[in-house]
């Protein structure tokens, strides 16, 4: 899908705040309300907008521990990879999972209420998995930057 400057402005506004009504959005980006509504539906149909969600503050919701967990696999077979990826996709503590290059095979962003719950999670859900050889935890001291917004100004 080719995105115009107006499309990029509309998407940037949606990334900031999806609670604005369409009249307000249309005025901000210089479109009619109907065109704005139609364009948002086009973005959804094209998969550019995957879903609209509320972003929660993990600490205020009781998650006091954030961990970057590096995982090495026992072997690099399709079966091991698929099994592990299917497993972590079902774990609510895993916020993100990346297949990575380097010494380790995966990087997981994990949240937990405290160290004890993380230790239980690590031992029960990660280290016991048949595809996992080893894991290494790096504990986040503080979040310096967090964004869900794509840098649309660098497109086109």
Residue-by-residue DSSP string for 57-120: -TTTTT--EEEEEEEEES---HHHHHHHHHHHHT-TTEEEEEE--SS-SEEEEEEESSHHHHHH
Span 61-65, mean pLDDT? 97
User: Fold match between 5-46 and 65-139?
Assistant: no
pLDDT score of 134: 98
- Tokens 């999972």 correspond to 97
pLDDT score of 44: 97
pLDDT score of 101: 97
Structure pTM?
A: 0.89
Per-residue pLDDT reduced to its tens digit, 11-52:
999 999 999 999 999 999 999 999 999 999 999 999 999 999
Per-residue pLDDT reduced to its tens digit, 107-128:
999 999 999 999 999 999 999 9
- Polymer length of the chain: 156
pLDDT score of 17: 94
Span 98-113, mean pLDDT? 98
Span 50-63, mean pLDDT? 95
| Dihedral (CA of 23, 29, 34, 40) sign | negative
The CATH classification number of 65-139 equals 3.30.70.920
pLDDT score of 154: 86
**Band (156; pLDDT cuts 50, 70, 90):** low
The CATH classification number of 5-46 equals 1.10.10.10
Domain ranges of the chain: 5-46, 65-139
């Amino acid at each position: 899908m080719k995105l115009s400057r107006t499309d990029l402005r509309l998407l940037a506004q949606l990334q900031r705040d999806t609670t604005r009504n369409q009249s307000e959005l249309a005025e901000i980006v210089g479109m009619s309300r109907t065109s704005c509504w139609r364009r948002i539906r086009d973005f959804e149909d094209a998969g550019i907008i995957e879903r609209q969600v509320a972003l929660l503050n993990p600490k205020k919701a009781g998650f006091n521990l954030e961990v970057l967990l590096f995982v090495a696999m026992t072997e690099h077979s399709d079966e091991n990879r698929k099994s592990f990826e299917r497993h972590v996709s079902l774990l609510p503590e895993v916020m993100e999972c990346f297949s990575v290059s380097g010494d380790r095979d995966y990087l997981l962003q994990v949240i937990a209420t405290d160290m004890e719950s993380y230790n239980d999670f690590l031992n029960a859900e990660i280290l016991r998995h048949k595809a996992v050889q080893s894991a290494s935890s790096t504990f986040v001291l503080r979040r310096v930057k967090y964004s869900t917004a794509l840098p649309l100004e660098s497109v086109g």
